[in-house]
A and B are shown apart, each in its own frame.
Chain A
Amino acid sequence: MITCPSCKHEEFVGALFCSQCGTKLTYQKPTPRKTASYPGTSQTGRPAVTPEPAQQTPPITLREHILALKVMDTGAIIPLEGGTEFTLGRVSGNQPILPDLDLTPYKAYEGGVSRLHATIRIEQGTITVTDLGSANGTRVNGKKLAAHASQTINDGDILTLGKFKVQVLIRN
């Protein structure tokens, strides 16, 4: 038997995914991922916004808004573009589904960010954040969201993922 690294469920040898939590099991050799490696401190500080694997719908280009996140600790600006939906989290280990935005370079692990922490969505002119059942929760201006609950966010709002703080910047 092999043990799921995520939930410790036992699976048959040859299983590709954990039947209980859905984690991918056979990453014995690291295969190249789509996630662009973060260019460190050099360059422009552009984050690794990756296209979602096996994307269902083509991304709709965002016209109405320019959306960005400002990391409170360092002041780095992370633009969110090329889609209407951005899953925030971090990439680590054998992860079945990768976030659109990998926050690892901003010390996300130390900040208690879950691998799939929250989603920011742009929908008919409003922008919402949804917590994805993260371990340490998501707060909007200090107010905690229930797991999987959505809330509208506005320019200047502070999002806290675990202890990791970003400010929402929206320009119409």
Chain B
Amino acid sequence: MQAFDYYSELGVTRDASPEEIRRAYHKAAREIHPDVSNEKDANEQFLRVQAAYDVLSDPEKRTKYDQGLPPQEKTGPVIGLNTLYSRKNLLKINEPQLLFVLLELTAPPNAKTRPSPPLNVCLIIDRSTSMRGERMDTVKNTAIDLIRQLRPEDHISIVTFSDRAEVIVSGGKVADKKEIEKKIFMIQTGGGTEIFHGLEAGFFEVRSRFSHDFTNQLILLTDGRTYGDEEACLRLADQAASTGIGINGLGIGSEWNDSFLDSLATRTGGSSVYLEGPHKIEKLLRENFLRLGQIYAERVSFEFHIKPGIELRYAFRLSPDANPIGLSSPVRLGNIPKEPSLVVLLEFLIDPIVSFSGTLPIAEGQISMDIPTRAVPHYMLSMQLSRDVSEVEDFQPPPARLIQAVSKLNLYRMQERANQFLVDGNPEDASRHLHNLATHLFSQGQHHLARTTLEEAENIAQKRGLSEAGKKSIKYGTRSLLLPPSLTEAAIEPSPEKGDR
């Protein structure tokens, strides 16, 4: 390793505030303390962090140290952060108002040439009776294919579940791929769907090998509804999130509970996708896997204080995948891939501003993450969202990227509202929202999705109900419109050089 400097040792930038330095030190100390870390050089690591903190926490020593640093020695920023607001200022008015904020977090260009962190991934496969046949066959074939592409340093475990869970392949480095393939091949279907058992077994597998230098993720593949253990699953998801393990859900067919899978994923910063049928399994499972192999920063989390009277009303990740994210601090934003950027859209609702002038803090805090390729993976950025308050609006057209994001997200939300109306027993409004949505979809050239939407609008008008398949198609269809066009196709093709590893 090249001569380290104290800043990178702590994972902070050169302009870090004393508070950031203190936090980074505490965080690092907790993680690499020789008492808790089982790495060989924990002692040495700890001493280095200690030395860095001794210097940087003392203003005098720090100034002296800074003077000794070679100027512009750094290769560039660790993370590019771009913040776009929908409005230049807020209005002093006696009614609530909205503010949209688009956050873009980008890996530095040199990240592309660095190797990706090793995987610590557990594939959790539903082997209930309904998976029998083409579904399970496709899952097996895809899993075997993905195993073949793993690097020697990757860790993979495989859990199957029905009414109970079995660990088919227990992690550890991928030594004997043939043996793993054989085990996958022997998976039999049968039984019910109890997700908690599978999730728990998978969680233990990944947790036992958890490392900040790894990509730690669970991939859950299911085609059914779990009964009675939703709460337990969600608690486990929270535990996974605080450990730093992401959960990604892939739902096959129309029977599974989409809002449940969404909340599982959302709590951990993971993703959830809909596979209409077996033909989509290969494509999306592969895509999910590839994405995990291209990560620059993991466990990106936005921790903030928000003033009373301001509410984070809606939050959505637009890139690298389209998924809802949580609303309360800390918000798990997901991962930053090498490319493209991690992009999230936040919508704040602000109570009437009656007697305030100056700059109103909207949300203040920091974005923290783990960057496995750095000496000390933990890294923090301070994040202050604020707007000036004035009597008149200094109108400027919002940035085009933000408008486009809000426009597409609005289509997704029209679908959400239609569902809400249906739940509230108002089929007329539900049907009308879907009709409006269909018109927009038609005019955007999304004919197939538009027709499905229209059919469901008619279903509601006549039978007062929505088909499960239609509901999911509309939900995940409008969601996929949010992705940049290049991503919808390009990311899915298996990269040719991967197979040679």
Residues of B within 8 A of A132 (CB): 439, 442-443
The interface bits of chain B over 151-188 (1 if a CB of A lies within 8 angstroms of the residue's CB, else 0) are 00000000000000000000000000000000000000
Which chain A residue shows the least CB distance to B410?
A17
Known: A22-B437, A29-B395. 12 other contacts (CB 8 A): A12-B95, A12-B349, A13-B98, A14-B90, A17-B407, A20-B414, A22-B411, A52-B445, A55-B485, A87-B443, A132-B439, A133-B435
Q: Would A97 and B397 count as touching, CB distance under 8 A?
A: no
User: Per-residue CB proximity of B383-417 to A under 8 Å, as 1/0?
Assistant: 00000000000010110000110110011011001
Interface presence of A21 (CB below 8 A): yes
In the bound assembly, the distance between CA atoms of A22 and B438 in angstroms comes to: 11
- A70 on the interface (CB 8 Å rule)? no
A1 within 8 A of B: yes
Residue of A nearest to B407 (CB): A17
- Asked if A96 is an interface residue, CB under 8 A from chain B, the answer is yes
Q: Are A26 and B398 in contact (CB under 8 A)?
A: yes
- Residue of A1, A85, A96 near B407 (CB, 8 A) is A96
Give Cα distance in the complex from A16 to B443, angstroms: 19
Please measure, in the bound complex, the distance between the C-alpha atom of A65 and the C-alpha atom of B436, giving whole angstroms.
Answer: 33
Q: Does A99 lie at the interface of the complex (its beta carbon under 8 Å from any beta carbon of B)?
A: yes
Contact A13 B91, beta carbon cutoff 8 Å: yes
For A85, list chain B residues within 8 Å (CB): 445
- In the complex, how many angstroms separate the beta carbon of B149 from the nearest chain A beta carbon? 29
Chain B contact residues, CB within 8 Å of chain A:
86-87, 90-91, 93, 95-100, 349, 395, 397-398, 403-404, 406-407, 410-411, 413-414, 417, 432-433, 435-440, 442-447, 450-451, 454, 485
Q: B403 — nearest CB in chain A belongs to which residue? A: A16
Interface centre among B96, B432, B438, B442 (most CB of A within 10 A): B442
B410 and A19 contact, CB distance less than 8 A: yes
In the complex formed, the residue of B with least CB distance to A84 is B445
* B444 in contact with A148 (CB, 8 Å): no
The 7 closest A-B pairs by CB, nearest first: A14-B98, A13-B97, A17-B410, A14-B97, A116-B443, A12-B98, A97-B443
Question: Is A54's CB within 8 Å of the partner chain B?
Answer: yes
Is A66 interfacial (CB-CB < 8 Å)?
Answer: no
Is A14 touching B443 in the complex (CB atoms < 8 A)?
no
Instruction: Report if A52-B436 is in contact (Cβ < 8 Å); known contacts: A13-B97, A16-B403, A16-B407.
Output: no
Set B97, B397, B433, B436: member contacting A29, Cβ < 8 A: B397
Report how many A-B pairs have Cβ atoms within 8 Å.
95
A24 contacts the other chain (Cβ, under 8 Å)?
Answer: yes
**CB proximity of A25 to chain B, nearest CB, Å:** 10
- Knowing A85-B445, A97-B443, the reply to whether A54 touches B404 (Cβ < 8 A) is yes
Minimal beta-carbon separation of A17 from chain B (angstroms): 4
B454 contacts which chain A residues (CB < 8 A)?
148
Q: Are B440 and A22 in contact (CB under 8 A)?
A: yes
Q: Across the two chains, which residue of chain A brings its CB closest to B481?
A: A56
Residue of A nearest to B488 (CB): A56
Q: Are A15 and B442 in contact (CB under 8 A)?
A: no
- Nearest-neighbor residue (CB-CB) of B398 within chain A: A16
Q: Which of A14, A55, A96 contacts B440 (CB 8 A)?
A: A96
A13's contact among B95, B417, B446, by CB below 8 Å, is which? B95
Nearest A residue to B99 by beta-carbon distance? A14
Cβ of A148 and Cβ of B451 under 8 Å apart?
A: yes
Docked-complex contact B445 and A56, CB < 8 angstroms: yes
Does B86 lie within 8 Å of A16, measured CB to CB? yes
Interface residues of A in 79-123 (CB under 8 A from B): 85, 87, 96-97, 99, 116, 119, 121
Q: Does A28 contact B (CB under 8 A)?
A: yes
Q: Is the CB of A97 within 8 A of B444?
A: yes
In this complex, what residue of B is CB-closest to A89? B443
A121 to B443, CA, bound (A): 12
B308 to chain A, nearest CB (A): 18
Q: Which residues of B contact A124 (CB under 8 A)?
A: none
> Which residue of A is nearest B437, CB measured?
A22
Query: Which residues of the other chain, A, contact B410 by a CB distance below 8 angstroms?
Result: 16-17, 19, 22
A residues within 8 A CB of B397? 26, 29, 31
How far is A136 from B121 in the complex, measured between Cα atoms in Å?
57
B86: chain A residues at CB < 8 Å are 14, 16
B395 contacts A130, CB within 8 Å?
no
Can you list 21 A-B pairs, Cβ within 8 angstroms, ordered by A?
A12-B95, A12-B98, A13-B96, A16-B407, A17-B406, A17-B410, A19-B414, A20-B432, A20-B433, A24-B407, A26-B398, A28-B395, A54-B404, A56-B485, A57-B445, A119-B442, A119-B443, A119-B447, A121-B447, A132-B443, A148-B438
Min CB distance A87 to B, Å, is 5
- Given A130-B442, A148-B454, does the pair A13, B407 have CB atoms closer than 8 Å? no
With A28-B395, A99-B443, A148-B442 known as contacts, the answer to whether A14 contacts B87 (CB < 8 A) is yes
- The complex places the Cα of A130 from the Cα of B407 at a distance, in Å, of 24
Quote the shortest CB–CB distance from A117 to chain B (angstroms). 10
A12, A17, A52, A116: the one within 8 Å of B439 (CB):
A116
Contact of B436 among A12, A13, A21, A56 (CB under 8 A): A21
B395 touches A16 (CB 8 A): no
Residues in chain A near residue B442, CB distance under 8 A: 116, 119, 130, 132-133, 148
A22 to chain B: closest CB distance in Å? 5
Give CA–CA (A132, B432) in the complex, Å.
15
Q: Are A20 and B406 also in contact (CB < 8 A) when A12-B98, A132-B442 are?
A: no
Could you give, for residues 66-79 of chain A, a 1 whenever the CB lies within 8 Å of some chain B CB and a 0 otherwise? Answer: 00000000000000
From known contacts A19-B417, A22-B437, A97-B440, infer whether A13 and B398 are also in contact, taking CB-CB under 8 Å. no
